[in-house]
Amino acid sequence: MAILLNNPASSHKTTELADRYQQIRSCSVNLCSILEPEDYVVQSMASVSPTKWHLAHTSWLFEAFILARQSNYRVFDPNYHFLFNSYYYAKGQMYARTRRGLLSRPTVKEILAYRRFIDDRMLELLNGTPDPELAFLVELGLNHEQQHQELMLTDIKHVFSINPLQPALIDSRPHRRRSPLGECGYSDIAGGTLEIGATGSGFCFDNETPRHRVLVRKFQLANRPVSNREYREFVNDRGYARNTLWLSDGWAWVQTGNIDRPLYWSEDLESEFTLSGLREIDPDAPVSHVSFYEADAYARWAGSRLPTEAEWETAATGPVEGHFMDSGLLHPRALPESQGDNEGNGNTAGLRQMFGDVWEWTASPYSPYPGFRPLAGSLGEYNGKFMCNQMVCRGGSCATPPGHVRASYRNFFYPQERWQFFGIRLARDV
């Protein structure tokens, strides 16, 4: 059974904000429409949240940051403020993240009623032309909702993967290439004093600002992500057993966790768990579900390195097109033969798959840009306080909603995390 995926417009210049609100909110419910009630509750590890928690938390954000500002507003349930606050301490205390899977109540039915209640109040508020502050808060809430749509997919994938029955969320098989993917090439990227960061009048998160100058030396960037076939060569070459390839923390992580292959790969390196269940590994598709430590070790093994986020952004000059959530495949796919292995595809440097398929690890720690100022008040907790001990990823994935990412978009994760669709693109010094 297929999931109905909405593809809302990325800007509300041609679509009223109320329509955009309805499209994105309904997409969240559609993503989990074929789940059973038991599926909504499971928390398989600390980084994973139950599906029903995502549905409630995204509703809570609209209630706490928009609806509660109205003097005549009455909350749906005061207990939800404690249960579904994530990390906004300025808004009060919250239920422990690691214990979200213990919340059998409120039920899925009650959570869906909560969403309908919030949606009705929000649409009443959006009846007419919203003032600029309200429009910004709604747009922030919708982009937050899209982030959680991706998390719902990757979280339920992890939940299903630990089930011995290995259930499938969808029935989908990405198209395979008729001929093997050619050897990865590299494109020369000119350096100089360049600018990175959000530009234009469209929405962006505060961590993408301010736009600023960076010095980028000339470098080379791989014209596509690392494939499963290429990564399997690293595994077969005892990549996980050679400490000289690994950062110190990465080697400790490998040893402690007995890590010897990407997350979801079988022991024989022939199959992997997907949202369509167990599938044979497509050797030409981008490798996914690897940590920063694995990406860095692979790059060292390949005689290359990971790009910095400034390098990645200055190279991402083409249109924001790629394989996103709306395809319905929900798995990275090989570069189509129609694009050619070394032809340009909307990018003057001939770079492929810069957007979609897999989030690409960079060598850059997640830190503030020069002159960064977080949003005022409790919304300042959204990004700024996480600027420590995490690494930046760029480009979006096959589970990212279309229209959600841009060249300046900065995602960030701890270096040991793998449950997102993390992949690798190599860089070289010139």
419: nearest Cα among 17, 31, 45, 12? 45
CB 40 within 8 A of CB 12: no
d(CA 379, CA 231): 40
d(CA 333, CA 356): 10
How buried is 56 (Cβ within 10 angstroms: 0-12 exposed, 13-18 middle, 19+ buried)?
buried
What are the tens digits of pLDDT across the range 291-314? 999 999 999 999 999 999 999 999
221: nearest Cα among 322, 309, 333, 336? 309
98: nearest Cα among 157, 50, 33? 50
CA 84, 87, 92, 97 torsion-angle sign? positive
Q: How far apart are the first and last CA of the chain?
A: 49
Residue 11 pLDDT > 50, yes or no?
Answer: no
pLDDT of res. 400? 98
What are the tens digits of pLDDT across the range 356-389? 999 999 999 999 999 999 988 888 888 989 999 9
CB 24 within 8 A of CB 145: yes
Q: What are phi and psi of 100, to 5 degrees?
A: -65, -30
Q: Provide the 10 A C-beta neighbour count for residue 155.
A: 24
Beta strand extents in 164-321 (DSSP E only): 186-189, 192-196, 212-216, 219-222, 271-274, 277-280
Residue 43 pLDDT > 60, yes or no?
Answer: yes
d(CA 425, CA 427): 7
With tokens 């930046």, the residue in question is 392
With tokens 């959000």, the residue in question is 198
Residue type, 370: P
pLDDT of res. 4? 41
What are the tens digits of pLDDT across the range 186-228? 999 999 999 999 998 899 999 999 999 999 999 999 999 999 9
d(CA 318, CA 331): 23
Mean pLDDT over 33-40 rounds to 96
pLDDT of res. 168? 97
pLDDT of res. 129? 80
pLDDT band at 348 (very low <50, low <70, confident <90, very high): low
Local structure of residue 227 (DSSP, 8 states):
B
CB 166 within 8 A of CB 156: no
pLDDT of res. 86? 96
pTM of the model: 0.94
Could you tell me which residues come within 8 angstroms of residue 307 by beta carbon, excluding any fewer than 6 positions away?
219, 221, 315, 360, 362, 363, 425, 426, 427
430: nearest Cα among 132, 187, 102? 187
All domains in the chain, ordered by first residue: 17-161 (1.20.120), 186-429 (3.90.1580.10)
**Secondary structure tally for the chain: helices H, strands E:** 9, 13
d(CA 171, CA 35): 14
pLDDT of res. 377? 86
User: Mean pLDDT score of the chain, rounded to an integer?
Assistant: 93
pLDDT of res. 340? 64
CB 219 within 8 A of CB 347: no
- Does residue 106 have a cis bond before it (omega within 30 degrees)? yes
402: nearest Cα among 18, 3, 15, 6? 6
